[in-house]
Chain A
Amino acid sequence: MDSVIEVRNLTKRYKDVLALDDVGFDIQRDTIYGFLGRNGAGKTTAMSILTAQNLPTSGQVRVFGEDPYENARVLSRMCFVRESQKYPDDATPRHALASARLFFPQWDQELADDLVEEFQLPLKRTIKKLSRGQLSAVGVIIGLASRAEITFFDEPYLGLDAVARQIFYDRLLTDYAEHPRTVLLSSHLIDEVSNLIERVLVIDAGRIIMDESTEDARAQATNVVGDTAAVERALRGREVIHRESLGRVASVTFVGRLDAAERDALAAAGLDLAPVSLQQLIVRLTQQRTPGRDAFAAEAQEGSLR
């Protein structure tokens, strides 16, 4: 496996919080990762440490085989614009983009100009006066146009409307196809990004609880659609993650795979298999650690965020 990032036994303790608890994982070259988890799970802390913006309490981080801390050679190949990024007081988007052009060796000005137009970003207004969405657009443009070999997007869509988010996803994919690179995308809109991401890295309460391809992750569960009564019969006591019904038709997602015989039985009963929602799967995974929560209430909370 060709890893660009290797993390071993990484622990970060703030005064009274254990943000990362003995974490270890590898990030493969030229892959788009979904870095998922609840608020406060440790996503931003992890990304800050990988980019040497923050320091670990203990453990080891290797980026391109080297320690990124105070390492210009490594840092200049990465880009991490925070969700709550601060800019110089008098700075306008024009200043911010001009600065990024100075510091990112593979900066593509044409791409940046295109994106400014698509996001309708006012270049001459001071950043202090931008709306939340426009502020996010500045970060997104820097992240895309820097074309860094490893790019981190930390909830890049805050305040962006659905159209702007779609622009971001489309541009990311198009540019990624032409210029493969490693992308870590942290997001709460899991279903929205699920078609984008090739691998899923889920962090919960400071620990990595899932690290696999999106396909394998999805295969952990099964979604059956069809006549309600027939679906209920097919469940046979399996653990249900999600249930929707409309009239006599139900769509139920449950944990586990089906063998060939079971598939045939389902087909015979007139039931269809549909793709599993990554979001529902991950909500279930990250919920187990917060006992006493009503499954559906918690899901509504996560799913309807923003």
Chain B
Amino acid sequence: MTTIESGSATRPAVVRNRTRNVVRLQFVNTQTFVWVPALVLGGAWVLTMLIYWILQNAGVTGVKTGGGSQAPLWYFLVVGIQAMTMTFPFSQAMSLTRREFYVGSLAAAAVSGLGMSLVFVLLGLVERATGGYGMNGYFAYLDWLWQGGPLAAGLTYFVLTMLFFIVGFWSATIYKRYGTAVLTTVLIGIGLALVGLVALVTWQQAWPEVGQWILDTGALGLTLWAILVSVVLAAGSYLTLRRMPA
């Protein structure tokens, strides 16, 4: 009986820390959460630098910008998928609730995403200070993104990593729970909805207004919208996971 009593004494603390420990559980996959994203970001940076260098030597002295810094964002789709498929079954063996697992996984993604955003902002600051590495080439310091300053740029980058993570996580949950056919149907459904939106804007001949709205809202404003979308998707993802068998 003593065992059971000593157990009750320590239990509340353990229950509280469980969600936090899920972050450590996820980071067992250091490769998924740290090394591969770092590699994608570093690789994209190196490739971009090489291209700028070639252009610079070919006499292209104007402002050079590229989309290389979005590469790690796409990888966060994969991080989301792997966080779900690899670790969910084990989390069940660790007697975790689905909610603890989900909140902890989001926190793990946030840790990783914050790291990426920090690197992104630091690169941008370096680029701003050195005039694009002395060759007018920008990887992270993209005018439109940095309108609101370094913090806003970092926030945008961070929100996008989380958005991609959640989309990946939700897709993986739908796939694991309902199978390929349902996931494909859902994706086609989303595609149709987007096409419908495009059709609507086109028929209304509203593209100039839409363009103007995007410009007016700015990167920071769009980021705030992205936060809203992320929250909605995160809630949907949780509802799908909530009754998922291991």
Cβ-defined contact, A82 with B99, below 8 A: no
Kindly supply a per-residue 1/0 record for chain B positions 55-66, scoring 1 wherever the CB is within 8 Å of any chain A CB and 0 otherwise: 000000000000
Q: Which of A80, A82, A96 contacts B95 (CB 8 A)?
A: A80
Q: Which residues of A contact B4 (CB under 8 A)?
A: 149
Assess whether A90 is in contact with B32, with CB atoms less than 8 Å apart. yes
Contacts of B93 in A (CB 8 A): 80-82, 85, 142
- Residue A48 at the chain B interface, CB threshold 8 Å: yes
In this assembly, does A220 line the interface, its C-beta being within 8 Å of a C-beta of chain B? no
Bound complex: CA A90 to CA B6 (Å):
34
CB distance from A91 to the nearest CB of B (A): 5
A-chain residues with CB within 8 Å of residue B240 when the two chains form the complex: none
Q: Chain B contact residues (Cβ within 8 angstroms of A): what range?
A: 35 or more
| Interface status of B246 (Cβ within 8 A of chain A) | yes
**Interface secondary structure of A, over-half rule:** loop
Q: Please report the number of residue pairs spanning A and B whose Cβ atoms sit closer than 8 angstroms.
A: 106
What's the nearest-Cβ distance from chain B to residue A249, in Å? 48
Q: Is the pair A102, B15 in contact by a Cβ cutoff of 8 Å? A: no
Which segment of B23-31, B39-47, B137-145, B149-157 sits at the interface? B23-31
A: number of interface residues (CB 8 Å) = 41
Residue of A nearest to B7 (CB): A106
Report B-chain residues with C-beta under 8 Å of the C-beta of A51: 92, 95
**Cβ contact within 8 Å between B245 and A55:** yes
A102 touches B82 (CB 8 A): no
Query: CA–CA, A106 to B18, complex, Å?
Result: 14
**In the docked arrangement, what's the CA distance between A115 and B30, Å?**
27
Contact B11–A70 (Cβ < 8 Å):
no
Cβ of B178 to closest chain A Cβ, rounded Å: 12
Proximity bits, A268-286, B CB within 8 Å = 1, else 0? 0000000000000000000
Q: Is B11 in contact with A147, judged by CB distance below 8 angstroms?
A: no
CA distance in complex: A150, B92 (Å):
15
Tell me whether B86 and A75 are in contact (CB under 8 A). Answer: no
Q: Tell me the chain A residues, 13-31 only, with Cβ under 8 Å from chain B.
A: none
For B96, give its contact among A86, A87, A103, A180 (CB under 8 Å): A103
The interface residues of chain A lying within 8 Å CB-to-CB of B245 are 48, 53-55
Evaluate contact between B95 and A85: CB separation under 8 angstroms. no
Residues in chain B within 8 A of chain A (CB atoms):
1, 3-4, 6-7, 10-11, 14-15, 17-18, 21, 24-25, 28-32, 82, 86-87, 89-90, 92-100, 242-243, 245-246
Seen from chain A, the residues whose Cβ lies within 8 Å of a Cβ on chain B are 48, 51-55, 70-73, 75-82, 85-91, 95-96, 99-100, 102-106, 142, 147-149, 179-181
